[in-house]
Chain A
């Protein structure tokens, strides 16, 4: 290994963060680009739901950039980074789907191709945002980074971090049929265990695993106590889980209530870990 080139902040015209976002888009979403349920779902999802998902993803991208710190020290430049992340997400999604042959001109119609690109662009854009903001060079100049999220109370930061992490993780599981299969095949006694295990894992990730040093004031506010934070963020994660289950057609109002609860708890394990990862990242 040779020493890296000296970094000149801004000297390369912001090429590094843009390339980092491209890499993040692929690193974050490649499993979903290779998931057939995503291609199928893109063919059957209605456009209003798809546009709604993109709008939610836009919010998550903005939050990710606010958490990690946008690059220029002025909130007006948040819009530029948000556009870049989403544009890179769309490009990464489209190029990959064409290169691997999932979008084949003359075989796959434009409407299906557009919906596939739009759906796959969502996790790509979130991955791009996280990479652009979180995976900066360790020797980089961080004084010019504006973490506007720091102005919020600790409680709000925790809630938003949980939402971002839970949504990102939910995207990796919600489209798959395995979730439905696991829910159906699990015995009733598994579900209380999943709840307990989800809470325990969340607590361990955030408070015991020592991923990041918690900032001053972390224990202030309504969510200041570890058990309170763990319980409230778990409920939030269940809410995200249910929204994804509805969005991806796993449950509907006609689904029996016990089945809705079972699926939400099953998916909640994933979103709880995602939410915990989000809070750890923010604390870092």
Chain B
């Protein structure tokens, strides 16, 4: 915090000018995009489930079935609870619950439901929060 001697004035180098120019463009694009998003009407979160049985596999007596959870709405959903149910002919159905922390509008997350080989799960959304 001591007084400094008068500094010499220099022109910025070409590199500094170029980096500053590119930075300015990047900042403008990011801020512009966020501003546009702010004026976009955010529709409520809509959670859709898709069972990608063709991409699953089995190991021993367990079947691993991918389940894609997508928020096709605009707003973010939190604590999305999904129930998967494997119906078995001879015993009680195998029911699992999975919680996904956050899904922004348009975001997709995949989890794997594990059940008996030879069965195909059904899936439903139990509920979610709007943070």
- Name A's B-contacting residues (CB within 8 A): 10, 13-15, 18, 39-40, 43-44, 46-48, 50-51, 54, 69, 72-74, 77, 79-81, 83-84, 86-88, 90-91, 106-112, 114-115, 117-118, 121, 143-147, 149-150, 154, 157, 214-218, 282-283
Least distance between A283 CB and chain B CB atoms (Å): 6
Contact B107 A107 (CB under 8 A): yes
A10-B10 contact, Cβ under 8 Å, with A44-B78, A84-B19, A108-B107: yes
- Name B's A-contacting residues (CB within 8 A): 1-17, 19-20, 22-24, 26-27, 30-31, 33-35, 37-38, 76, 78, 101-109, 131
A110 CA to B33 CA in the complex, in Å?
Answer: 10
- What 3 A-B pairs have minimum CB-CB distances, sorted nearest first? A87-B23, A73-B7, A109-B106
CB-contact partner of B27 in A39, A46, A77, A87, under 8 A: A87
Contact B37 A146 (CB under 8 A): no
A87-B106 contact, Cβ under 8 Å, with A44-B78, A115-B34: no
Q: Which residue of A lies closest to B42 (CB)?
A: A46
CB-contact partner of A150 in B3, B30, B31, B34, under 8 A: B3
Contact B107 A146 (CB under 8 A): no
Question: Within 8 Å CB of B7, what residues of A?
Answer: 72-73, 143-146
Question: Within 8 Å CB of A79, what residues of B?
Answer: 20
A154-B33 contact, Cβ under 8 Å, with A83-B23, A91-B26, A109-B105: no
Contact A282 B1 (CB under 8 A): yes
Contact A218 B1 (CB under 8 A): yes
A145-B23 contact, Cβ under 8 Å, with A109-B104, A112-B106: no
Question: Within 8 Å CB of A121, what residues of B?
Answer: 30
Question: Within 8 Å CB of B19, what residues of A?
Answer: 18, 84, 87-88
Contact A146 B4 (CB under 8 A): yes
Q: Which residue of A lies closest to B21 (CB)?
A: A83
Question: Within 8 Å CB of B1, what residues of A?
Answer: 149-150, 154, 157, 214-215, 217-218, 282-283
CB-contact partner of B4 in A47, A108, A147, A218, under 8 A: A147
Contact A80 B16 (CB under 8 A): yes
Contact A112 B9 (CB under 8 A): no
Least distance between A176 CB and chain B CB atoms (Å): 15
A74 CA to B10 CA in the complex, in Å?
Answer: 8
Contact B16 A44 (CB under 8 A): no
Contact B16 A90 (CB under 8 A): no
A48 CA to B38 CA in the complex, in Å?
Answer: 7
Contact B37 A111 (CB under 8 A): yes
Contact B26 A90 (CB under 8 A): yes
A43 CA to B103 CA in the complex, in Å?
Answer: 8
Question: Within 8 Å CB of A90, what residues of B?
Answer: 23, 26-27, 30
Question: Within 8 Å CB of A146, what residues of B?
Answer: 4, 7
Inter-chain pairs besides A90-B26, A112-B104, A157-B1, 12 sampled, C-beta below 8 Å? A14-B15, A43-B104, A43-B107, A80-B12, A86-B27, A90-B27, A107-B108, A111-B104, A112-B107, A145-B7, A215-B1, A283-B1
Least distance between A91 CB and chain B CB atoms (Å): 7
Q: Which of B9, B19, B105 has the most CB of A within 10 A?
A: B19
Question: Within 8 Å CB of B109, what residues of A?
Answer: 107
Contact A77 B12 (CB under 8 A): yes
Question: Within 8 Å CB of B23, what residues of A?
Answer: 83-84, 86-88, 90
A14-B16 contact, Cβ under 8 Å, with A83-B27, A282-B1: yes
Contact A72 B26 (CB under 8 A): no
CB-contact partner of B26 in A87, A150, A154, A218, under 8 A: A87
A71 CA to B2 CA in the complex, in Å?
Answer: 17
A74 CA to B7 CA in the complex, in Å?
Answer: 8
**6 A-B contacts (beta carbon < 8 Å):** A73-B10, A80-B16, A80-B17, A87-B26, A111-B104, A114-B37
